[in-house]
Structure formats: structure tokens, C-alpha cells
């Protein structure tokens, strides 16, 4: 369905600029009139049918593509290309249809006089709160090209953090998946053949073989129950993780896990401190910085701590003392924040901690991976060996009986 950008006067007399989906321009006007809005301008956005379909499905663009788009926006603006023309050019080359649709709509809204920050705010799936606040800083008198460059730096750093997390989890997940598939194949296809042989020969079975045979029979005869139970557990877990209590509980567990907890903590804090450094260096007030950083934390425990600190700072307390009262931030962070407050170099101090945490995270991820790899291989070997021995022992018993 076509998307129209419009300007209208509401019943209260305020001017409203937004977009609307309708089958035709006439229907768009009719829908707006039915809302009590008097249309003063209406134009169809130049978005092809595939773009509209992808945008309506809500496929989120990758962090790397959004960061690259912001980087190119900064370069184009610095080169003197008008903002609307820059946005339209970036939209034409965007691979993600959702990003393309958002850029076309932002270009149309900006051409009608809307602020870039307000346009970013309309597309939270594409542009985070940080982008909105950075754009507002530029609109208040900053350099838009420089501000977008800082935003791109931050988004590229966040994307790199995401890649580190994926790389740390990739190997254990692959090995675990192989283990599960191996067990299922052996239990479903291989063991049933030996079960018939053991029954026919009247072999005396050890308890391990009996247990595996029972498991094999249950899986082969009640496979639909296992699949249904797995699907049900998956959706229940997904629903739980989307609830406020569920997210908080899981985030709390992640921070306390042995070995992994310290890595998760440093990754979350790196993201938060990088956001704070970017905003503060752009002139955003501390209260707003803490609020935006809380939204970027992606961890409910740290988010709650930042919002509590924001409240304390708004009441006149020092940032270092407010963060210390949260009991979430390590001594190094608190010391750097206190030092930055005294010297007036807080953004630089936060960037230093981010770099330090980044190096520590890389080292710990490599160390953890080097430990996990042999452990997972040993676990897989024990599982396969257990199944193999449970089959081989009765066979030897049968061979001995024949002799």
C-alpha cells in the first residue's frame, strides 16, 4: 500500500507532519479528514512495493548497515551536500528495505520542515535514542557532520561489541548442536536396530543399556510429544524473557555467572560508558545522558541503576556518588568518573575506561574460548562414548555366551 507524507492542521489548531498508508491520495485525504485533520500538503513517498512490504514486516536492519549509513551521511554533509539530498541518496543505495523506507520518509519529512531529531524518533527500530539526542545537539547549534561522525563512531563500536558476543557464543553453540544431533541420531536410528538384536538373543543388559533403550523407545514412539514439549518450552521461555520480571531475572543471572558474568558486565558497561562519553562530548547534560545511556544498556539491572543515578543527579548529587550508590559500577569506573568531574575531562576518562574494558574483554573472551573448546570436545566424547559402550558391552556379552 502506498505511503503518503502529509502536513495537516488538527482540530486544536496545531500543525502535524507525519505519514499515512492508503490505497490512493483520495483515500488518504478521506482518512485524515475523518480524524478531524485539514490537509495542507500531501505527497506519495518514492518507495517501491518491495520496500513497503519489508517495512511493514518490520525487519530490523543490521547495526553495521545503520552505522555505515550514518558515517556516509556525515561525509556527505561535510562535503556540502544538502541533508535532504544526502538522505535520498543513502535511501537509494540502502540494502535493508526497512532502512530504505525510513530514509525516504525522513527525507520527505525534513523537506517539509521537520527536525532531523524528530524524524529519527519516529523510527526507533532503525535509529536508537542516542541518534535522537545527538541530532538535537546538532540542531541546538552544533556541527551536524561532526555530530553524525561521533554517532557513527559509537554505533561502529557497539556493532563490534555485538560481534564479540556472537564470536564468543558461536563455538559452544555449534558443539552443543552437534552433540544434540548426534544423540538424537543414535537414539532414534541406531539403537532401535540393536534393541531387536538384543531381544532376539536374550542378552543380559546393563542398566546403562536399559536406560538408553527406554529413552530410544520413548523418543521413537512419542516423538510428537517431545517436539510439542520443546516448542512449548521455547515459546514459554521467550514469553518469560519478554516480561519485565523475566528480563530482570535473566540479566541478573548473566551478571553473576562464573567466568561469563565478568565478560557480560564489561560488555554492558563498555556500551554504557561509550554512550555517555559520546553524549557528554557533544554537550548533552548529565541527566539526559544517564537517561539515554540507560536505554542503551540492554541490561535491566544496569538500566535501573542508571535511572536511579539520573534521579540522584537531578537532585544535585555528584555523578560519581550517584553511581557509587547503585552498587553496580566497579571501583575503576567510579574512580575515573570522580577524577573526570574534578578535572573537567569526564568524556576522556570514560573513553579511556571503554578502551581498557575492550582490551580486557578481548583477552577474557579468547581465554574463555580456549577453555571451552576442549571442555566441549571432552563432553561430546563422553556422551558418544557412553552410548557406544552401552551398545558394545551387551554385544561382548552375547559373543562370550556363544563361545
Q: How many other C-beta atoms lie within 10 A of the C-beta of residue 357? A: 23
The pLDDT value recorded for residue 53 is 46
**Crossing angle (nearest 10°) for helices 260-281 and 144-185:** 160
CATH of domain 160-403: 1.20.81.30
Residue 202, class by beta-carbon neighbours within 10 Å (0-12 exposed, 13-18 middle, 19+ buried)? Answer: exposed
Residue 8's H or E segment, with its range, is: strand 3-9
> pLDDT below 50 — which residues of the chain?
48-54, 57
Provide the 8-state DSSP code for 203. Answer: P
The two beta strands, 38-44 and 15-21, are unpaired
User: For the chain, what is the largest distance between any 2 Cα atoms, rounded to a whole number of angstroms?
Assistant: 101
3-class SS letters over 24-76: CHHHHHHHHHHCCCEEEEEEECCCCHHHHHHHHHCCCCCHHHHHHHHHHHHHH
Round to whole Å and give the CA distance between 125 and 59: 9
Fold of the domain built from segment(s) 47-127 = Receptor-associated Protein (1.20.81)
Q: How far apart are CA 299 and CA 264, in angstroms?
A: 10
Query: For the chain, how far is it from start to end, CA to CA, in angstroms?
Result: 79
Say if 47-127 and 160-403 have the same CATH topology: yes
Domains of the chain, by residue range, sit at: 1-44, 47-127, 160-403
Closest by Cα among 180, 113, 166, 199 to 394: 199
Look at the block and give the residue holding cell 538408553.
212
What is the DSSP annotation of 336-378?
Answer: HHHHHHHHT-HHHHHHHHHHHHHHHHHHHHHHHHHHHHHHHHH
Asked if 36 and 10 touch (Cβ cutoff 8 Å), the reply is yes
The pLDDT score that the predictor gives to residue 50 is: 40
Helix (H), strand (E), coil (C) string for 217-274: HHHHHCHHHHHHHHHHHHHHHHHHHHCHHHHHHHHHHHHHCCCHHHHHHHHHHHHHHH
Residue 184 backbone class (left: φ over 0; alpha: ψ -120 to 50; beta: rest): alpha
In this predicted structure, what is the pLDDT of residue 359? 84
Burial of 14: CB neighbours in 10 Å, binned 0-12, 13-18, 19+: exposed
Q: Which residue, among 145, 166, 2, has the nearest Cα to 80 in the 3D structure?
A: 145
Integer angstrom CA distances of residue 219 from 107, 187, 199, 216? 57, 8, 19, 5
Give the per-residue pLDDT at 400. Answer: 63
Burial of 383 from C-beta contacts in 10 A (0-12 / 13-18 / 19+): middle
Comparing CA positions, the residue from 203, 131, 150, 110 lying closest to residue 396 is 203
DSSP class of 87: H
On whether the CB atoms of residues 270 and 162 are closer than 8 A, the answer is no
From residue 249, how far is each of 48, 143, 257, 299 by CA, in Å? 43, 42, 12, 10
Does the predicted TM-score (pTM) go above 0.75?
Answer: no
CA-CA-CA-CA torsion sign (275, 278, 282, 285): positive
> In this predicted structure, what is the pLDDT of residue 45?
67
Task: Determine which helix (DSSP H) or strand (DSSP E) holds 152, and give its type and residue range.
Answer: helix 144-185
Query: What is the spatial distance between Cα 290 and Cα 314, in angstroms, rounded to a whole number?
Result: 10
Amino acid at each position: 500500500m502506498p505511503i503518503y507524507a502529509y502536513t495537516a492542521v488538527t482540530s486544536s489548531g496545531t500543525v502535524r507532519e507525519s505519514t499515512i498508508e492508503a490505497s490512493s491520495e483520495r483515500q488518504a485525504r478521506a482518512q485524515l479528514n475523518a480524524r478531524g485533520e485539514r490537509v495542507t500538503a500531501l505527497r506519495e513517498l518514492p518507495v517501491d512495493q518491495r520496500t513497503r512490504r519489508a517495512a511493514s514486516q518490520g525487519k530490523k536492519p543490521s547495526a553495521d548497515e545503520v552505522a555505515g549509513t550514518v558515517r556516509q551521511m556525515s561525509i556527505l554533509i561535510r562535503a556540502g551536500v544538502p541533508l535532504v539530498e544526502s538522505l535520498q541518496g543513502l535511501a537509494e543505495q540502502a540494502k535493508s528495505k526497512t532502512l530504505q523506507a525510513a530514509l525516504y520518509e525522513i527525507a520527505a519529512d525534513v523537506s517539509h520542515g521537520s527536525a532531523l531529531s524528530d524524524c529519527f524518533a519516529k523510527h526507533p527500530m532503525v535509529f536508537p535514542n542516542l541518534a535522537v539526542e545527538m541530532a538535537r545537539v546538532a540542531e541546538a547549534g552544533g556541527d551536524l557532520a561532526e555530530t553524525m561522525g561521533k554517532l557513527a563512531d559509537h554505533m561502529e563500536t557497539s556493532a563490534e561489541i555485538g560481534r564479540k558476543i556472537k564470536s564468543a557464543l558461536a563455538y559452544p553453540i555449534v558443539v552443543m548442536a552437534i552433540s544434540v544431533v548426534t544423540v538424537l541420531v543414535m537414539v532414534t536410528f541406531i539403537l532401535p536396530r540393536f534393541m531387536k538384536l538384543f531381544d532376539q538373543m536374550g542378552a543380559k543388559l546393563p542398566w546403562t543399556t536399559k536406560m538408553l533403550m527406554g529413552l530410544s523407545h520413548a523418543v521413537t514412539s512419542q516423538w510428537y510429544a517431545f517436539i510439542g514439549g520443546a516448542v512449548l518450552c521455547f515459546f514459554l521461555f521467550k514469553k518469560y524473557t519478554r516480561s519485565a520480571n523475566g528480563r530482570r531475572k535473566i540479566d541478573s543471572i548473566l551478571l553473576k555467572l562464573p567466568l561469563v558474568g565478568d565478560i557480560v558486565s564489561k560488555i554492558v558497561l563498555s556500551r554504557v560508558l561509550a554512550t555517555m562519553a559520546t553524549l557528554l562530548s557533544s554537550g548533552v547534560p548529565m541527566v539526559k545522558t544517564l537517561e539515554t545511556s540507560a536505554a542503551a544498556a540492554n541490561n535491566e539491572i544496569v538500566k535501573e541503576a542508571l535511572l536511579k543515578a539520573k534521579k540522584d543527579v537531578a537532585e544535585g548529587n555528584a555523578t560519581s556518588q550517584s553511581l557509587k550508590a547503585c552498587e553496580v559500577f566497579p571501583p575503576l569506573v567510579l574512580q575515573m568518573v570522580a577524577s573526570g568531574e574534578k578535572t573537567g575531562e569526564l568524556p576522556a576518562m570514560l573513553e579511556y575506561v571503554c578502551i581498557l574494558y575492550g582490551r580486557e574483554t578481548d583477552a577474557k573472551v579468547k581465554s574463555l574460548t580456549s577453555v571451552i573448546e576442549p571442555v566441549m570436545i571432552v563432553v561430546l566424547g563422553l556422551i558418544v562414548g557412553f552410548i557406544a559402550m552401552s551398545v558394545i558391552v551387551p554385544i561382548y556379552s552375547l559373543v562370550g555366551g556363544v563361545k
